[in-house]
Amino acid sequence: MWPYVLKRILWFIPTLFAVTLIGFILLANAPGDGVNSLVMSSNSGGSLKTTQDIEQQKTYWRKQLGLDLPLFYFSICKLSEPDTLYKINDDVELEKAKKHIKTTGGYKNYLPKIVWYGSSNQYHRWLFGGYNSKGIIRGDFGLSISKKEPVIAIIKDKLIWSLFFSILSIILAYAISVPIGIKIARQPESKFSKGSQFILFLMYSMPSFFVGVLLLMLFANPDVLSIFPPSGIKPIGGYDDDTSLLEKFIDSVPYMILPLICYTYSSLAFISKLTATSIQEQLQLDYIKTAKAKGLNEKTIIWKHALKNSALPLITVFSSVFPSIVGGSVIIESIFTIPGMGLETVRAIIAQDYPVVIAIITLSSILTIFSYLLADILYAWIDPRIRITK
């Protein structure tokens, strides 16, 4: 078992590395000058009067954010370009310099060269830490431009809400759809299974934003039925200091019902269908006949024997349901204004706060990778054959 787990973990390191690289490429190509907006927004009081002061502030922030470093470990550039071109931060100046190089470079413009910068670069600093940064491996995702706080402090609470909803909805989805799947597998021709299959298929095709807005329109609308609150996750005005955790939870329940329906309904069809087909396969095998001949009742046969053997595909689904829920949270959270990662992504994109966006993408990819890893290990734990053959 353990060698297999170790091997899996080792395989996941390059994936993690590639995911962070994609995140970094996105961050490096983000439009707009973050430092400029940072300095300008802090200068709204007018404390920096001369342009020289502003330039000084900009240089200071560039150093703080590590933007005075080269982008990557190496760079591929024209032979005519000097290897310190990255030090020019002003776009206009850079354009001028490049034009000058182009006109004077001659044949050297068309020959490549590789410049090696070593480990003092933006990517290394972003990933492993460096001057004024701990790196994302220690949980430091840099500074949010619009809020001027560390990104991780912003994301932390949001992550808890998103995880809370996604884990709860996964549990709910399994709790509802596995029994349905079993019922369909036992009597595939009955009215119940045909009807439920059709309804589940309809639900599977429903876009989550449609369902969300429809639910709000029907159940949180003073004109129709005002059962649930339309947005947020806790009562307006917050809690008193002396309310207990249980009371807080009970107060929040009405806020959670509609979002949870939205999170859960679309995966029901998928999981129940999978349960039904894999249990149907199991029911035709000999060991089920043996169990029947032994005189076991049908409930024990299905829940104790068949379900255990058909658990493998269900685990696979678990690892693929998770990323789709993370992605779907963008929509559901912005419908119900849940302060989670999805809503934060939309806010950050509208505010052009790219460090936050990239941090959310990188973090959720890492979480997804871990869910794959978890699924693989569960796989090996349930089915010992996998450990040996792979």
Residues that bind other proteins (CB under 8 A): 14-15, 18-19, 22, 26, 29-31, 76-78, 109-110, 112, 201-202, 204-210, 213-214, 216-217, 220-221, 223, 230, 323-324, 326-328, 330-331, 334-335, 345-346, 349-350, 354, 357-358, 360-361, 364-365, 368-369, 372
Comparing CB distances to other proteins, the nearer of 261 and 331 is: 331
Strand, helix or coil for residue 149: coil
Cβ at position 26, least distance to other proteins in Å:
6
Cβ at position 300, least distance to other proteins in Å:
33
Q: Which helix (H) or strand (E) holds 354?
A: helix 354-382
Comparing CB distances to other proteins, the nearer of 64 and 80 is: 80
Cβ at position 98, least distance to other proteins in Å:
8
Specify which residues 64 forms β-bridges with.
none
Assigned token pair, 30: 């983000």
Cβ at position 206, least distance to other proteins in Å:
6
Amino acid at 67: L
Closest among 191, 184, 207, 186 to 273, alpha carbons compared: 184
Amino acid at 105: G
Closest among 65, 64, 42 to 53, alpha carbons compared: 42
Comparing CB distances to other proteins, the nearer of 54 and 206 is: 206
Comparing CB distances to other proteins, the nearer of 137 and 214 is: 214
The span from the CA of 352 to the CA of 341, in Å, is: 16
Cβ at position 207, least distance to other proteins in Å:
5
The span from the CA of 331 to the CA of 41, in Å, is: 30
Cβ at position 15, least distance to other proteins in Å:
5
Comparing CB distances to other proteins, the nearer of 196 and 364 is: 364
C-alpha separations of 236 from 165, 166, 244, 294 in Å: 20, 24, 17, 60
Comparing CB distances to other proteins, the nearer of 54 and 203 is: 203
Spatial contact of 310 and 302, defined as CB atoms under 8 Å apart: no
